[in-house]
Amino acid sequence: ALVVRFAGALGLDEARTAQLETAALLHDIGKIGVPDAILRKAGPLEPAEYDKVKEHVVLGVRILSAIPRQEILPWIEAHHERFDGTGYPQGLAGEEIPLEARMIALCDAYDSMITMRAYRDAHSERIARARVMQGAGSQFDPVLAALLVEMLETGSLARHSTHLPNASPAFGGS
């Protein structure tokens, strides 16, 4: 729901927003191949356990390889890439990461922060927004991070979608 709201605030068209919604709903489907003991572990993961978790993006793409919306597969595969290039599975950086994957990563991280987890309590929305901004430029696209926080704080965006990083005509860019 958050990524759909964000897409609307950014001015993405209905078709792209629908694709983004599908990708956001399915982005972690590969976790069905990760043992529950790892997914629900209360403490820190061992390196081998973390490697198993990281496999979920490629497994998700394999699971979804027969769906009609093939264009969303790169977004799902890249949703754990980091803006600074230290993410996985390919180590993409900056605008090499598809815009939609950057949006999913950002909205998913924010949602995760404000939701109770087995390994930690939920953060307040204020703290989660601050953590998003702390990750701007390293974990998250700094422009998208600022736009998401603006939307969350004000309910809308003062900026026009042409300010989107890596915007194309399909996204209201020039």
The two tokens of residue 116 are 């109770």
**Long-range contacts made by residues 154-162, C-beta under 8 angstroms, separation at least 24?**
156/9, 157/9, 157/10, 160/11, 161/10, 161/11, 161/12
**Cis status, amide bond into 98, omega within 30 of 0:** no
From the candidates 31, 41, 52, 54, which is the catalytic residue? 31
Known catalytic residue at 52? no
Per DSSP, 123 falls in state P
Spell out the residues 6+ positions from residue 92 whose beta carbon is closer than 8 angstroms to its own.
78, 81, 85
The two tokens of residue 112 are 């995760």
Q: Which residues are part of the catalytic machinery?
A: 31
